A and B are shown apart, each in its own frame.
Chain A
Amino acid sequence: MKKSFVAAAVASFLAVGLAVPVVAETPPNMLVIANRIDDIKTFDPAESFEFAGADVSRNVYQKLVNFDPLDLDAGYQPQLAESWEISEDGKTITFTMAEGHVFASGNPVTAQDAEFSLRRAVTLNKTPSFILTQFGFTPENVEETIVATDDRTLVLTLDKPYALSFVLNCLTATIGGIVDMETVMANETDGDMGNDWLRTNTAGSGPYKVVEWRPSESVLLDLNPNYGGETPAMERVIVQHIQESATQRLQLERGDIDVARNLSPEDVAGLEDAEGVKIVDELRGRLMYWAANQKKEMLSDPKVLEALKLATDYEGMSDSFLKGQYTVHQAFLPRTFLGALEETPYSFDMDAAKAALAESAHPDCGPIKISVRDAQERLDIGQSLQNTWGELGCDIELIVGTGAQTLDRYRAREHDIYLGAWGPDYPDPNTNAGTFAVNPDNSDEAGATGLLAWRNAWGIPEMTEKTLAAVVENDTDARREMYRELQREHQQVSPFGVMFQQIEQNGMNESVENFVAGGATTAVSYWVITK
């Protein structure tokens, strides 16, 4: 009797499971993506600064100028602004707004909306606001510097002349997203310019609108019925938060999702022969580097730095545990950026490294602590450095902490060597040049925690000047050459060992076409995807 009861219970569980139909294909007008999206804190373009947030923002908000996903190399193109002119003194840019763009609410997009959105981003002064305030906009002066003179004309007045490409590149960043003034202000609370409301709601003129967001669970986007452009093939996009690579792979193989965005190298390899699935590689903007604190005497010795750069096993790492995920890259501008430098002057050469160390003031090397956060790829890189630098004769200790812990030490300039990653904030060379190669005041009091050069106590008044000169150069060819020159020098003298650039490997159903994750310059674009 008892036995039959147990058997019946087991059978009933299995029977119900068996009876459930499993759908193995997503509908043709719907795109289902598995991705890690637990970094989304807000959708407000004035505040959003996370990867998954940028993916949503790019599809919801349009900008004055923007990148064409099918031709990223072409650089910024007209979007909400159909044309622009720069004044003779190089300080005033006048945009003429295109017609026919409409917000999801039905309100037309006007120059007043653009004025409101940019003023708002400066006034709210959230983390990404520096992308705009670096042109001299402040909460106090926005009423004079960002002005809509009529429905179709927006005038920006900068504090000094800048390369036009620099300004326009910055306007393609998430913070350049134009919001629907009327809708946003209708939802204002306590003078927050709709910040609270825009965290969880969207009011843009892009191809999609957010219908539902469940933090760490899913984001659901539907077509913006009033979208001015060609109607996208994907009428609904669902992004599910799936943490595990193995789970994403299973879902892809089952046909329950169209795209898997966080596949581990093992799962990518496992999918190579899978039927109906393809892997698409795309170079992204993230760099992996180590940096040496110049407050430490030994690490400020140029010969020691040279030895460490030579004793790094670039190829060994990129061919083994980083295979397919990172490619060797040794300059601070990611490939595909204006002025990117593909030269790799350093390769793993233990003899040369030992020779360099012997010439230094510290031929026996000494104890070095590497701060590394507890992420697998970084731990692997840290261990490789520990091995090869150990071979050099240094006594290497890995200090492992959470992201926030290691970052705290880094910002306080307390590390020896920091092993880190850096992604561009906006698609202009200055985004990286302005942090790897700018440090006007190296004192502790300056507290320039946003500058990587400052965090490593690397005082470089001359290089700072060169970097800042490139920002105002309006001849694009000359500007490109300035950055190349700067990076060559940086490779030789800086305490930064740039090692790798990220490759994103997305697994997708064979039928999915035009999936562009955004390259090194921008985020994903759902509206061009077909399947």
Chain B
Amino acid sequence: MADTTHGEGRPGPSLPPWLKKTLATLATVAATILGLLFVTFMIGRVMPIDPVLAVIGERATQEQYNQTFRDLGLDKPLLVQFWIYVTDVLQGDLGKSIRTGQEVTTDIARVFPATLELATLGTLFGVVLGVPLGVIAAVRRGSWIDQLARFVGLIGYSMPIFWLGLVGLLIFYGILGWVSGPGRLGIFYQGIVEPITGMLLLDSALRGEWAVFRSAFSHIILPASLLGYFSLAYISRMTRSFMLEQLGSEYVITARVKGLSEWQVVWGHAFRNIRIQLVTVIALAYANLLEGSVLTEIIFAWPGLGQYITTSLLANDMNSVLGGTIVIGTIFVAINIFSDLLYRFFDPRSK
């Protein structure tokens, strides 16, 4: 009794700020993913598609239907089903895919590296070309390069990726033969490199299998350029508008009056100040590609996450869809945390 009154009204032992921050982040992550799962789970259950038929096909008997209905746990109340699913997930068990007959974790370990590789290369392409293009377009406003940047942006926004992909394949693979066709690797190179990360470029480089690396590169270059082009269109446009805003501000005029070189004004002052906004834009573009670009993956027969989730959704293979949702949710949260960290690095005020 005395002990409890003793503690009342006093602040508890305070946690160190870094721990508080970490715990808060973890709680946000958990809540976000749980919420995502709940919504996806419920959508899956109210969709007018019968998950049992997805498993057994249309020729099955009623008895087989009932058996599978029970095996899938569909005879239990929705919330109980959700609870069972979440407890399994917490133990690292994402369940089995109806469509592939394999563990969802195995499936994702197979498809995610393919998407990660493609998205990373695509984003790299978009950043390396898009940022300078945007900056130059802003500096030389109205010049031919500005027009070019706008034209590139317009095409990137308005051209269907499906069409552009097919045309790209036709020209660079079909007619010119500069790059390899669909898929991730030539048939002769399959199974040569023991996977480490699942990303073929990285694995073949790590193992020193340069022939495999070249084959993988010649397969990825076209889809990556295509995705990169769309990132480039977005990133260069955003960079241009951020830069224009900065270039019109007083400190830039002051810097110019002080006699700083154009290079210092643009890169040393204006560009420094758009880094934070740019990080957000790039992170979002990257996350977007990591979700998987379904159409690109279909055209290039790229066995990635986007195609996996879409095909699973159409087959009402909810374990796979939910597994994919967890991955995407985690990516978004991770990228958010990462850009938060970068903010603090770039912006002294947030320290």
Contacts and interface: CB of A to CB of B under 8 A. Distances in A.
Interface residues of B, number: 66
A186 interface: no
Contact of A130 (B61, B100, B177): B61
A424 to B, nearest CB: 11
Contact of A254 (B56, B166, B177, B299): B177
A23 B170 contact: no
B179 interface: yes
Nearest to A408: B50
A38 B111 CA distance: 14
A127 B98 CA distance: 14
A327 interface: no
Main secondary structure of the interface of A (DSSP, over half): mixed
B102 A408 contact: no
Given A130-B61, A215-B102, A408-B53, A17 B182 contact: no
Interface stretch (A1-9, A81-89, A308-316, A385-393): A1-9
Contacts of B299: 243-244, 247
A17 B298 contact: no
Nearest to A211: B191
Contacts of B180: 20, 22
B115 to A, nearest CB: 13
B45 interface: no
Interface string A372-411: 0000000000000000000000000000011011011001
A240 B301 contact: yes
B298 A244 contact: yes
Contacts of A50: 57
Interface in A281-338: none
A49 interface: yes
A142 interface: no
B217 interface: yes
Nearest to B303: A217
A506 to B, nearest CB: 18
A402 B58 contact: no
B160 interface: no
A41 to B, nearest CB: 5
A216 B307 CA distance: 9
B46 interface: no
A250 interface: yes
B217 A16 contact: yes
A199 interface: yes
A447 interface: yes
Interface in A23-75: 23-24, 26, 30, 32, 38, 41-42, 49-50
Interface string A240-277: 11111011001101101000000000000000000000
B19 interface: no
Contact of B58 (A128, A411, A448): A411
A242 B221 contact: no
A404 B54 contact: yes
B157 interface: no
B119 to A, nearest CB: 17
A253 B177 CA distance: 11
A2 B132 contact: yes
B38 interface: no
A20 B214 contact: yes
A128 to B, nearest CB: 7
Interface in A204-236: 212, 214-218, 220
A449 interface: yes
A251 B225 CA distance: 20
B100 A41 contact: yes
B169 interface: yes
A94 interface: no
A238 interface: yes
Nearest to A374: B314
A306 B133 CA distance: 68
A9 B129 contact: yes
A242 B301 contact: yes
Contact of B314 (A9, A18, A402, A425): A402
Interface of B: 48-50, 53-54, 56-65, 67, 97-102, 107, 110, 125, 128-129, 132-133, 135-136, 166, 169-170, 172-174, 177-183, 186-188, 190-191, 214-215, 217-218, 221, 225, 298-301, 303, 307-308, 311, 314-316
29 contacts: A2-B135, A17-B218, A20-B215, A20-B217, A20-B218, A22-B218, A24-B177, A30-B187, A126-B64, A127-B57, A127-B64, A212-B190, A218-B190, A220-B190, A242-B301, A244-B298, A247-B169, A247-B182, A247-B301, A253-B174, A254-B174, A402-B314, A404-B50, A404-B316, A407-B58, A408-B48, A450-B59, A450-B60, A450-B61
Given A243-B298, A251-B182, 11 more contacts: A17-B179, A38-B99, A41-B100, A212-B190, A246-B169, A247-B166, A247-B182, A247-B301, A408-B50, A408-B53, A447-B62
Q: Which 3 A-B pairs have the closest CB atoms?
A: A20-B218, A215-B100, A404-B49
